[in-house]
């Protein structure tokens, strides 16, 4: 029996994923029936569907056709690039989009239930005694039991009662993680990470996972989080995931959303720990061979170039892949590929 037939929260979450996927492709019969049922039964879901479909009709969700050739301009730009800008340090945007795709899987995909805080949070919690320490342990135990309502209630009440407690930042981070990775309530997750960033900056700035998730949510908010719903749908339908991921990459090339989709190709389940770079290359090359969208192919070439550069130190292969990405028809990807090429120059 499918999980969503037993638990209403799972049914609603699956329907949200089906709604996002319906913006891009034809649904299976089962998902189409679920979507129709939710539209009939839930007025708020109907409003959300109407807003997303209106947004889908706007040009900002469309990928403009590109018929030019960027390669001559790329080569000319490289020839004119000042030597002072040559460095092997990749900027943050490029790392997010291509070079750090292996590590990005940790931040962009919901992994297994947490057994404890990230190491940086452990250090923050141990810095001073905290009356919230007991609440944090109870909340983590609730998460292990999949008692999300209990964990959320205990964390919210504790933060309201003691917002300046030394452990409040860790509690806010755990609340945000739960909203993002397990409940997948992205507006609430964005609000929770925003509060973490503004109210508890020491915790936020020492936790790469929180930074990555906040940036991804902030980018997806412009599209009412539909791309994240599409990624969720692809994660839950692995046998048909690649066409869905390709559409996300092609519609948002050069963005963190595209990087998240690339990461999901490498880590379909979200378990990125211990990933073999060679296996990552094979996964990306296989996906590239089956993709038909030029912007998606360019994004995958950019990611492959980053892997060859960082993991294998094969600059010749990386340069060739970056050149292909730069001339692949996506201006956003081309900009990042040009930056990568400039930094490969001696």
Domain ranges of the chain: 3-61, 71-110+224-344, 119-206
* H helix runs in the chain, sequence order: 8-22, 29-41, 43-56, 71-80, 92-94, 101-108, 119-126, 133-144, 148-161, 168-177, 186-199, 201-205, 208-220, 226-236, 241-251, 256-266, 277-290, 294-310, 315-326, 331-344
Averaged pLDDT score across all residues of the chain:
77
- The pLDDT score that the predictor gives to residue 29 is 74
Q: Give the pLDDT of residue 167.
A: 92
The CA distance from 59 to 54, in Å, is 11
Question: pTM (2 decimals)?
Answer: 0.64
Is there a contact between 173 and 196 (Cβ–Cβ < 8 Å)?
yes
DSSP 7-26: -HHHHHHHHHHHHHHHTTSP
**Do residues 318 and 308 touch, judged by C-beta distance below 8 A?**
yes
Lowest mean pLDDT among 114-123, 136-145, 301-310: 114-123
- Residues 6-31, buried b or exposed e (16+ Cβ, 10 A)? eeeeebebbbbbbbbbbbbeebeeeb
pLDDT at 88 over 50: no
More confident call, 1 vs 154: 154
Report whether pLDDT(91) > 60: no
In the predicted model, what is the mean pLDDT of residues 152-161? 93
């Amino acid at each position: 029996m499918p999980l969503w037939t037993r638990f209403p929260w799972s049914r609603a979450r699956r329907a949200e994923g089906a709604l996002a996927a319906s913006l891009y492709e034809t649904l299976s019969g089962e998902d189409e029936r679920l979507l129709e049922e939710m539209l009939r039964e839930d007025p708020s879901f109907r409003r959300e569907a109407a807003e997303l479909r209106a947004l889908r009709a706007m040009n900002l969700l469309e990928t403009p056709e590109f018929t030019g050739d960027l390669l001559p301009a790329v080569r000319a730009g490289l020839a004119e690039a000042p030597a002072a800008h040559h460095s092997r340090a990749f900027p943050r945007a490029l790392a997010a989009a291509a070079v750090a795709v292996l590590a990005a899987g940790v931040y962009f995909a919901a992994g297994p239930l947490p057994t404890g805080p990230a190491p940086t949070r452990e250090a923050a919690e141990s810095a001073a005694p905290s009356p919230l320490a007991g609440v944090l342990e109870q909340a983590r135990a609730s998460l292990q039991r999949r008692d999300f309502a209990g964990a959320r209630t205990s964390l919210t009440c504790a933060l309201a009662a003691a917002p300046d407690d030394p452990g409040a930042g860790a509690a806010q981070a755990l609340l945000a993680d739960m909203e993002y990775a397990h409940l997948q309530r992205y507006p609430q997750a964005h609000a929770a990470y925003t509060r973490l960033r503004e109210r508890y900056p020491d915790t936020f700035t020492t936790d790469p996972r929180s930074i990555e998730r906040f940036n991804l949510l902030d980018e997806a908010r412009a599209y009412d989080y539909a791309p994240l719903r599409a990624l969720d749908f692809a994660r839950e339908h692995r046998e048909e995931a690649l066409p869905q991921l390709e559409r996300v990459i092609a519609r948002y090339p050069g963005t963190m959303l595209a990087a998240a989709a690339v990461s999901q190709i490498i880590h379909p389940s979200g378990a990125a720990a211990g990933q073999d770079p060679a296996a990552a290359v094979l996964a990306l090359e296989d996906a590239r061979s089956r993709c038909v969208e030029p912007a998606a192919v360019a994004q995958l070439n950019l990611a492959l170039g980053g892997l060859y550069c960082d993991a294998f130190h094969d600059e010749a292969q990386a340069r060739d892949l970056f050149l292909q990405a730069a001339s692949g028809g996506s201006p956003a990807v081309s900009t990042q590929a040009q930056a990568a090429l400039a930094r490969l120059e001696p």
